[in-house]
Structures are given as structure tokens and as C-alpha cells.
Chain A
Amino acid sequence: MKVALTVWENRISPVFDSAHMLLIANIENKMVTSRHYEPFYPKLPLRRAAKLSDLGVRALICGAVSQPFANMIEAYGIELIPFVAGDVNQVLDAYLKDILSTPNFRMPGCEARRRSTDAATGDGGASRSGKIS
């Protein structure tokens, strides 16, 4: 299974919408069998999601992501694990150990959630509504 992480200065990119580099990790039996970096320059939500799909990515670990991009990624059937922060290697290790939801790897204001379905409910941080998305 292929997992993609948005990378910036060896950390998870703060915002998926403007991230420019992906780390693609091939995972088998909870072990990374291969990994490589992939430039990630599409700008539009549709193009970004399509590129991930073309790369065969099954799960995406990223920082903050806005609704149009999140919707498109999920429409492509890619598991979305957003609002993750920290060193890329540590994040990947935590993913393999299934401890990514611990506060150490969460962005501030984003309570620990389980994968994309929980994340979509948006229950973390102070409540704001009616914003443009």
C-alpha cells in the first residue's frame, strides 16, 4: 500500500493546498519497503487529487487542508489523515505504529481524531462557521 506525506523542510507541510513535495512510502506488513520523493505542483483540487490517484496513493498524511481539496481527495477514495504535524520520519513511524492520533503529532487546535471520517466532522478547536471554503 502506498502512503503519501506532504513534506516541507523534512517536516509535514503546514497546508496541503500549497504543498510542493510528496514523500511516497510503500508499506507492506507495517514496514516501509521503499520510499521516494515526488514533486507535487498541480494547483487545482481536481488535479491534486488525480495526481495522488495516478501515483497509486491509498492514504494521505498532511497538515491543514481546506474543504475543496479534502472533498476531492475523499471523492477519489483516498484515506485522508489531516492536521498532522512534526518530523516526517517520526510521523511515518507513528503511522506504522498506529499512534498518529496522539497529541504529539496533532496540529494545535485540532483534537485527536480517527482518520478522515472523524476529521470531517470538524469538532476540534474553537467553533467558527460560515467561512468561505
Chain B
Amino acid sequence: MKKDTPHQIPRHVTETILESISDGVFTVDHKWRITSFNRAAEEITGITRQEAIGKHCWEVFRSNMCETDCGLRRTMKQGKAFIDTSTYIVNSEKFRIPVVVCTSLLKDENGTVIGGVETFRDMSLVEELRKELDARYQVGDMVSRSPHMHKIFAILPQVADSDSTILIQGETGTGKELLARAIHNFSPRSDKPFIAINCGALPDTLLESELFGYKAGAFTNATKDKPGRFALAKGGTIFLDEIGDISAAFQVRLLRVLQERRFQPLGATREVTADIRVIAAANQDLLELVKSGTFRQDLFYRINVVRLVLPPLRDRKEDIPLLAERFIVRLNGLRGKAVTGISHEALALLMSHNYPGNIRELENIIEHAFVICPEGEIEPHCLPETLMCPISRPTAHGTIDSALKSVEAQTILDALKRNNYNRLAAARGLGMHKSTLFRKIKTLGIELPAIDGRSNRKRFR
């Protein structure tokens, strides 16, 4: 029987393979001049083979790592290959093209090093897809990975389109005005003004003149007409923040505007039509205020057409890394700093905090860190001292691992409480399988009450 011997692959076959793959490949000699340049390299860089061959590789490849951390140089110096280094190259149109790069030595048949070979893959599509995935977590200026927020994001276009009056409820600092702006920006009134006013910050008389405006001579020093916020918002949206804080007398005046869609500026003899969409917000539970008699029931039902409730940050802690990253990017731009991110230890501290001031408090914490730490990663010492001894910290000498476990246990416990100890609902809320939740409850030693969501339901039957 004839013994099989491996065939030597002819040179032209190697060239055919190199021409058919989608990864860019080029080779260099010892003087860093390009000796070969495949078809994909031409496509990715936008440079023809004729132009590239004989040129220095950095003039052709133009990566942001060429000068400081060239993979080919490291390979040639250390004699070993490097794989999957992420970088970007700059094409002749000044566009950055994200690429991953692999480098290795180029040897002849005798094993003598004759140069280096670099392969690179265009990651533009992956980047685009990553951006699209990120966009799923974002509506307007709001970002969230929380299922509760995603429910709001999902109905937001319909809510915006409806022109109905909206009531936004949520603790202070949860982003009520951001949500109101997002609704306005998605609405057919988006090209008209968005006017916000904090009703709780002004006494009745001032609030009246601010909202309704006045005519010249309406009172002493009213020398000329002043349009109110309702008039300024004509065709657009008015955002009435802290509506739960307005007086009983003013509630009546506001109710009339909302019912009749007309108002009368101070000192005017005629009523003016209010072509506005109203979004009201409160940080208290308005229904409780109605029950206690401090908020008019008829006004409550007038504004409670569509009600959106923003969860506090302690109930959506999964958003902390995402929000912190956004604040870092924004503050880097505003302050001209180069903070690259947050260390694991600092993030663990952020996760263990309870955030009574919600997102605004997190933003302030990051801003505090920017003062202490102008570049590199935010470390625990950059954070305010109040965070350094969080309530839920397990032990004074606890390791980072135990701190993370403590945060994990607290998050699970919070989710269970929110779902009336229904394990399945809590697992769904946490984005994990129920068996993973059971395993974590066991390993973290979380003690649970005898009842759960299911047993509750049975009790009511």
C-alpha cells in the first residue's frame, strides 16, 4: 500500500488563501517596510497594495498604538506572538476604525526571522452592534438596565404621542424632569417649548404671576405686560414639579386651568386659551395626600391620567455602574479630565450605599471623586468619607470578596422584599434563574421568613 505523505502547499495556494480571508494581513522586513499587503488589508485601510508596499508600516497602518505600544515591535523584540490587542486605526477620511490585532514572527524555511506579520480584523460592525445594544438601555438622557425602567421606556413613545396629562411620581433625585423632557422630546410638541417650574419653591402670589403672567398696571411696579409660563409654553409642554406642595387655594385655580384649558393673566379682562400639555410630578404619594385631605381629589384625578412611577436607585442598583460610567464620560468632557473608570473596590462601596438622594446623590459622589482623583481609576479614597463605612459592610476587616458577597446578599434580600418573598418573581426581577437564586440564598446564608409570595396568595383565596 502506498504510504500517504503530506503535500507541500504550493506558494500560490497560500496567496489565494490570504486573498480570500476577511482579515487584513501585512508583513514587514527588519526595517519595518511593508513587504506584502492582502486584499482585506486594502479594504480595511483604504490603501492600495501598490501604495503600501515599500512604505513604513506605521505610515500605512496608522494605529494609535504605533508610537507607544507597537505589537510588531514587541513581537520582534521578545520573539513571541501577541493576539487580540484592541486598538483603532485612522483612515484617510479621519475616521477611526476599531480593530483587533495579532502579531507574530515571520521566518523562512530555515527558521531565520525575516520580519514580522500582522493580522487585523475590522471591528466596526461589532462596535455598531454594541452601540445598538447600549441604545436599548437609553431613552433620551435616561439610561437603565432595570426591568422596571424598561417597562417605562417601552410605553414612553405611546405616552408621549397621546397628549394626555401625565403624573410622574418618584423620590427626589430619581430623574422626574429628565423623564418629562424625554416625553416632550418624543411627542408631536417636541419643536415647541418645554417649560419647567418648581411649584414648591414659590409662594402662591408669585406662583400665580409666574404661571399666568400679568398685565401692565395689575399691581404696583407691574409697568409692562409679562407673559406667564403657560403662555411661554404655548404649543409645547409645561412641567409642574413638586405639585403636591401647592396650597389648597392654588389647587383650585390650577384645577380650573386643567379643566377649561383657559386661564386669565393677572389684571387681564379676557381669558387666554392654554394650548399646552401638562406633565406634573411629585415626590410624595399624592393618593396619601388626598386621603389626608391636603390635596384635592378632583385635581388628583385630573392629573392622574397616565401615572409613571420612577423607582428609587436602591431598587435598581444594577444601574449604578452604567450611571457612574455616564457621569464619568460627561465630567471628563466638562472638566477636561482623563478619569478612565472606577476600581472594583470603589464600585463595591458605591453598590453598598443606600442612596437616599438617589441618582443626584450618585452624581455628586462621582463629582466629589473627580475633585480628588483627576485621572486614572476612581479608587475608594476618592469617594466621600460617608461611603467608607456603609451600614451593610460585613466586618471591619472584610476583604473585597466579602464586601461583594454582602452587597449581593442585600440586593437579593431587597428583591425578595419587593416581591413579597416570592422567589420566582424575585429571580425574574434580578434577571437570574430561580435555581440560581435558591443556590445563592443557600450559599450566602440568607434567612427568609416562613411565608412566600405563593403562600400569601393561597391565604387570600
Contact = CB atoms under 8 A, between A and B. Distances in A.
B98 A107 contact: no
B189 to A, nearest CB: 32
Contacts, number: 118
Q: Which of B42, B96, B124 has the most CB of A within 10 A?
A: B96
B394 interface: no
Nearest to B338: A43
B119 interface: no
A126 B97 contact: no
A132 B333 CA distance: 18
A17 B95 CA distance: 12
Interface string A30-51: 0000000000000110110010
A66 B43 CA distance: 19
Contacts of B51: 108-109
B190 interface: no
A20 B56 CA distance: 19
Given A124-B92, A131-B96, A109 B45 contact: yes
Given A13-B67, A18-B68, A43-B338, A66 B94 contact: yes
B94 A65 contact: yes
Given A18-B68, A85-B59, A126-B46, A109 B94 contact: no
A83 B338 contact: no
Contacts of B61: 14
A122 B90 contact: no
The 4 closest A-B pairs by CB, nearest first: A131-B95, A109-B47, A122-B93, A125-B92
Interface of B: 42-43, 45-48, 51-52, 55-56, 58-68, 88, 90-98, 124, 127, 332-333, 336-338
18 contacts: A14-B59, A14-B63, A18-B66, A44-B336, A44-B337, A44-B338, A64-B62, A64-B91, A64-B94, A67-B95, A82-B94, A83-B92, A108-B47, A108-B55, A108-B59, A126-B43, A132-B124, A133-B96
